[in-house]
Amino acid sequence: MFLLRNLFCDASLSRVYVNFPDPWYKKRHASRRLLQASFFELLFARLEAGGKLLLTTDSEPYFRQALILAENSGYYRITESSPPSATLRTKYATKWYAEGRSFYHASIQKHTGRPSPIPPQIRRELGMHHALLNGSIPEVTEFDKVVHHFEDGHVIVLDVMRMIGQEGLVFITRTHEPELVQELFIQLRPARRAQADLLLSVMNLGKPLATRGSSEAVRAVSRWLTQRGLTLCGTYY
């Protein structure tokens, strides 16, 4: 859902392949299923006219439920058939085929209507967030977890580490946004080229996305630092 919602624009996809999605059989896990009414609504917006979802699964209950949801949406034309041979060549599909399992396949084709635009939920931003501060790097002997809430998400500052062999601190944070969780390392170090004493910035470790969550993570750490005597002199969040 994250990829479909945030990386593709409306009417940009000709084919979407879903092979052996996790059926999440337990009732309490039903909300984790990919193939839900909201998925077919979003898929309708992202598919071009005549575009298709090609679904293959070994779970007949999940398969039947998915077809009912697609049909009830009123957006699709459904054709059941045998699965293409290519979908049965994976390690697990080969094993299941040898065990005599049944497989189910359908082409779910967009055929009607003009969808309402569905914008991305995650706001991608240019450049990574940072802040400039004046003061000295604080001595940290103990640390209590910090939780910072914002609209549709929150940040947890889990811990802080001192860098070995150089000046600085690294704050370990986790951001929670709709359909996206990121682990971020936010570094406080001397600002050698900026008009400030210290630079607070998101490290590139893991190639994090610049989103509202990373912005709020820098804000949360900045607030923690100002509560310990540092002063903000410039922000980009």
- Please answer whether residues 137 and 198 qualify as being in contact, where contact means their C-beta atoms are separated by less than 8 angstroms: yes
- Sorted by where each starts, the structural domains of the chain and their CATH numbers stand as 2-110 (3.40.50.150), 130-236 (no CATH)
Q: What b/e sequence results for 81-92 when a residue is b if at least 16 CB atoms lie within 10 Å of its CB, and e otherwise?
A: eebeeebbeeee
22 assigned to active site: yes
Residue 116 confidence (pLDDT): 74
Question: Please, what is the end-to-end C-alpha distance for the chain in angstroms?
Answer: 27
Residue 128 confidence (pLDDT): 76
Cβ atoms within 10 Å of 134's Cβ, excluding its own: 14
- Look up tokens 């802040």; give the residue: 131
Percent of the chain surpassing pLDDT 90: 74
- Please answer whether residues 234 and 222 qualify as being in contact, where contact means their C-beta atoms are separated by less than 8 angstroms: no
Residue 3 confidence (pLDDT): 86
214 vs 49: CA distance, rounded Å: 36
Residue 148 confidence (pLDDT): 98
Q: Which residues does 153 contact at the CB level (< 8 Å), separation at least 6? A: 175, 176, 177, 178, 212, 213, 216
pLDDT tens sequence across 157-206? 999 999 888 899 999 999 999 889 999 999 999 998 778 999 999 999 98
Calculate ∠ Cα 191-195-196, nearest 5°: 55
**pTM exceeds 0.85:** no
Q: Is the dihedral of CA 176, 179, 183, 187 positive or negative?
A: negative
The token pair that represents 123 in the structure block: 């706001």
Which residues of the chain fall short of a pLDDT of 70?
113, 115, 121-127
- Of 10, 22, 58, 197, which is the active-site residue? 22
